[in-house]
Structure formats: C-alpha cells, structure tokens
Amino acid sequence: MSIILDRPLTWREIAAIAEGAELALSEAAWQRLSYARAIVDAIVERGILAYGVNTGVGGLANVIVDRPQQRHLSRNILMSHAVGVGAPVGKTETRAIIAAAINNYAHGRSGVRPEVVEQMLVLLAHDCLPEVPSLGSVGYLSHMAHIALVLIGEGHAVLDGQRLTGSEALARIGRTPLVLEAKEGLSLVNGSPCVTGLAALALARSERLVDWADVTAAMSFENLRSQPRAFDETSLALRISVGMQATGRHLRALLDGSAILAAAAGRQTQDPLSLRAVPHVHGAVRDALAEIGSTIDRELASVTDNPAVLGTPEAPEVYSEAHAVAPGIALAMDTLAIAVAELAAMAERRIDRLVNPHVSDLPAFLAVGSGVSSGFMIAQYTATSLVALNRRLASPASLDGGITSGLQEDHLSHATPAALKALQILDNAEHILAIELLADAQAYDLQAEDLAKAPGTDAFYRDVRTALPPYRDDRPLAGDIAVARGIIRRADAGAA
C-alpha cells in the first residue's frame, strides 16, 4: 500500500503508515516545503526577529542569536532536548510519529528544507527507525529530538533488528548526515506530531478492540443463556446513538441462529447489566471514538509549529504563537483511555459470571475436575488486577499541570503522556478480552446440553480451538492468554 501526501493525512492513513504502508509526497507538497524554506531564508537574511530562528528557545526566547551561530543553535537544540529515558517506544509507534511529523512539515508553514523531509521518508522506506525512549516528555520535545538525532548521524536507530549509531544506520541505507540550517532544529522537536501519531495508532487499536469486545460479549451472553430481546432493533432505536445501533447490529449478527439462546428464551425477565447493557456501553465507546477521530484529523489538518511562517519571500511573516501546545488531543487521549478502561471493566464482570458457579450454571471456575483443578479461577484475578491498573492509569494526564523553562512554559497539556498511557490501557484491555475469549471457549465445551451455537460465535470458538485445546490445568494458563491475545491483535472481528 502506498499513500501520497498531497492534502493533510487522515488518522487512518497515519495508522496504515505505522503498520508499514509507504509514504510519498506529491509535487505540490514538495513545492510548499520549498516555498516555506524560502520565507525562512528571507527572515534570516533580513534579520527579522523570529523565535528559534535568531533567538534562543523557551526561557531563553529573548536572547538574540547572531547569524553565524544559527546552525549551532539548530544542532544544539537536538542535543539538549534529547533527554528521554526508559524503554524505547515500539516500531509502529515510531513510524506513526515520523509520518505525523512529515504531514506537519508538508503544510508549508514550518520552513524545514525539503532535504530534511526526504531524509525522514528514507528512514520510513527502509524501516530504519530511531531509538526513541518512551519517558521524559510533558508535551512533545524529547521524543522528536531523539528521532531528529538520527537525521544528523547522532543517536541510535534499529535496522534489520540491529541497533546502530545514527551515522552507521544512515550509511547502511545510502544516506549522509544532514547539517541543519536556521530554524530546522526547533521545527524538528516542535509541534504535536508525537502525540498525533501515537493517537492515530491508539484509535486504530481501539476500533479493533471494541469489535472484539462485541465478539467476546456475544459469546459470554450465549454461554450464560441470556435474553436476546435486550439487543432488539426496535428497543435499541429508542436511544439515539450511532454507536449503539452499530453494536446492536453486530451482536444480532453474531448471535443469529443460536439454539442455545432459543432454548433459554423467557427463562428470566432481564439479565445483569454486564450482559444486557453491552450495546449501551460499547455503543458509547464507539461514539467517543468517532469524536476522537475527528479531533485527530483536525490536528493533522492544522499547523502545529511555533513559529509558523507565512507571507512571501518578499514580505515574510512570522507568527510566534502557542500552536505547538495540544490540549485538544490531550483531552481526546484522556477520553480514549477512560472509554477503553470501561470497556475492559465490563468484560471482567462477564468473566466473573462465567467462572462463578453461583450464577453461571457451569462447572465452578470452568475447571475440569473441580477441586483437583482450579480452571479459570486465577485468570479472573488477573483480569481484576488489570482493571484496577487501568483505573489508576485512566486518571487524566491533561490535569497534571507543572511549570517548566523558568516560568516561560507555565501550563502543560501532557498530551504525549496521555497517549502513552492510553496505549498501556489498550495493552491491558487486550489481555482482559483474551481471558474472556478463552473462558468463553471453555464454557462452550462445558455446557450441560449439546445445543448448537450461533454460526457467528461458533466461527470464533473454532478459531480458539484451532490454536488451543480445552484447558485442563495441564499447562500454564499464561501461555494460552498470550495466544488468545495474538488472535485478537491479528484477526478481524469487524462490526456489521
């Protein structure tokens, strides 16, 4: 798959590039880059005061930097801002950040030379990915600085599974280190590409996850012999929610033709909320994700550099503003974190009902040989632990605040940390759904009556049983959870 950047990319395109799609620029995009650089060159030539071009940055914004030192300023910004710590972000996360940065420069308001963007495109094309420590940013600076280091032959990158210095990595792919010109150092660490790339990836994973949550919920619903009128189209239409209607359609398709549910019809008036409120919760998550997608697309369509350059080379204009701050996308990532955490918390309640003999009419803890075997007893503990961890992680990062740069930056959005913890919540949620998927498969095997499953749920049951046999306390259950999570990460569970 190849994506041509002419107009701003969408979040879905960023996510596709993160997963390996190729990226190229249209001729119009290259022209915008060249024109913006000509404006910066004019600013430099005329000595027009411009933040980060001929001044220091942050708390040093009023310190004038004369022309012979402006190249040094660009290089020094990368060196001083590359302060990340902790484990590196993953391959897909790094690709997403680079793609979002290229998208930002292609607006033609940053003023980096086309050579800078070309170097970034070559890194993507060769999967030569800078090593980017995950921690140490209150906004956007450190992650981007570590990416930019490799462009100038510094830092480290991973190529074909090998960790190399920046200069070694560039040589392997036939490139030479760049020498940065005025403003380029600031532009390379600036703006919101870091959080925007991570947000696109988080949203793509969340869409897949909510589809899978429908699947595991439908399987639990069937195993617990619940009342399908809870998903009736006429009833769900009483509440206005596009996400709820999509969830209802998916659940009805998954459960259509279930002999298990037909035999249980009318057995009780209504089921517990973790079963009958699935359309309401999953639908609310889908509605939230739709809004988050609009926010990310607006961010990608926006100029997030500071300063932004406008006008013409003959009449250059420079705007030193706060567009690099990203409170909107920070709030969106905090919302995504809460939505995914709630989705997973509801799944854990269904796991408990499957393993609890007081409510399930199934063997205690789905164990074969109860007493000698514990079955899924402790797997439910793991799900409970992860739900509690998600609850702690879902505390809004955008409220953290803080003061940096000698009072010059006295309000912080913590956008990138918001995205990083949303990704961690997604990891936890995938494990919780993996446990529910395994418990569902085990519950089908232990049903007292031999009644046909719905074709929709049976297909996913067979996927599990193709990969794993029924569980008999004969192996560490952690291995099964890892396999089930792999199914969730790879397979499509698309909603109707």
Catalytic positions are 51
Q: How many alpha carbons fall within 13 Å on the CB side of residue 447? A: 20
Q: Where are the beta strands (DSSP E) in 277-340?
A: 308-311, 316-319
Task: Read off the tokens for 389.
Answer: 């961890």
- Which phi and psi (to 5°) does residue 323 adopt? -65, -20
| 3-class SS of residue 230 | helix
Going from the C-alpha of 138 to that of each of 132, 141, 256, 308, the distances in angstroms are 15, 8, 49, 22
Question: How far apart are alpha carbons 259 and 447 in whole angstroms?
Answer: 13
Which among 448, 376, 493 has a CA at the least distance from the CA of 225?
448
Q: Measured at the alpha carbon of residue 196, what is the angle toward residues 191 and 197, in degrees to the nearest 5?
A: 115
Q: Is residue 339 within 8 Å of 288, Cβ to Cβ?
A: yes
User: 209: Cβ–Cβ under 8 A, 6 or more apart, which residues?
Assistant: 340, 343, 426, 429, 430, 433, 488
- Residue 249 one-letter amino acid: R
> Where do we find the tokens 């300023």?
73
Question: How far apart are alpha carbons 431 and 216 in whole angstroms?
Answer: 12
Please state whether beta strands 22-25 and 2-5 pair in parallel, antiparallel, or not at all (unpaired): parallel
Question: How far apart are alpha carbons 120 and 175 in whole angstroms?
Answer: 11
Please list the alpha-helical segments (H only) found in 313-355.
327-355
